[in-house]
Homo-oligomer: A and B are copies of this chain.
Amino acid sequence: MRLFHARGYDAVGVAELGAELGIKPPSFYAAFGSKAGLFERALQRYIQGEANIFARALADGGDVATVIDRTLALAARLYPRRDGVAGCLVLDATRNSADPDACALTAAAKRASREALRAFIATERPAKAGALADFLTIAMAGMSAAARDGADEAALTAFAETAGRAFRREMEAD
């Protein structure tokens, strides 16, 4: 998970993954089936862990705008580079990847994430939940990409606060 997150799916080889896990290629393929198989498990672990910032923000309760503010703030705190890892694994691990299986895995996770956001927003603003979810999806993609380009927590937090205010205004408009 750490290697995929730090350098992206294509840039990390099976040999290196095996070395990190302390196993040789045959054991690797017996355990995971393929490189994409290990990536799928890494993705699941990531999504079910503390990196699922929306799930964490949702667990603390509050109305839609509050939860969204919390989600954006968590992204700003989590995304800056630490130990060579930056941004979101789901959003960025398969950028420019040539592997269709790996890309399909992240694409599915992105769809699920966007749908979770949309469904939650729809509890208060069903008519514009889709557009608001799109706004957040694009904003978080920007935070993850910027973090990978070296943006620090201060810059991401400032963006998160501005984006949160914009979200609230769009939500309350009309």
Which A residues are closer than 8 A to B by beta carbons? 7-11, 91-93, 95-98, 107, 110, 131, 134-135, 137-146, 148-149, 151, 155-156, 158-159, 162-163, 165-166, 169-170
Q: Are A95 and B92 closer than 8 Å at their CB atoms?
A: yes
Q: Are B149 and A142 closer than 8 Å at their CB atoms?
A: no
Query: Which chain B residue has the least Cβ–Cβ distance from A140?
Result: B142
Smallest beta-carbon distance A77→chain B, Å: 15
Q: Are B158 and A134 closer than 8 Å at their CB atoms?
A: yes
Q: Are B139 and A155 closer than 8 Å at their CB atoms?
A: no
Kindly identify which residue among B91, B134, B166 contacts A165, using a CB–CB cutoff of 8 Å: B166
Interface centre among A95, A140, A145, A163 (most CB of B within 10 A): A145
Q: Are A159 and B135 closer than 8 Å at their CB atoms?
A: yes
Q: Are A11 and B138 closer than 8 Å at their CB atoms?
A: no
Smallest beta-carbon distance A152→chain B, Å: 10
Q: Are A97 and B138 closer than 8 Å at their CB atoms?
A: no
Kindly identify which residue among B95, B110, B149 contacts A110, using a CB–CB cutoff of 8 Å: B149
Smallest beta-carbon distance A17→chain B, Å: 15
Known: A8-B96, A10-B96, A165-B169. 14 other contacts (CB 8 A): A7-B96, A8-B95, A11-B97, A95-B96, A137-B146, A138-B139, A138-B143, A138-B145, A138-B146, A138-B151, A138-B155, A138-B159, A145-B145, A162-B166
Q: Are A146 and B151 closer than 8 Å at their CB atoms?
A: no
Kindly identify which residue among B9, B10, B139, B141 contacts A149, using a CB–CB cutoff of 8 Å: B141
Smallest beta-carbon distance A131→chain B, Å: 6
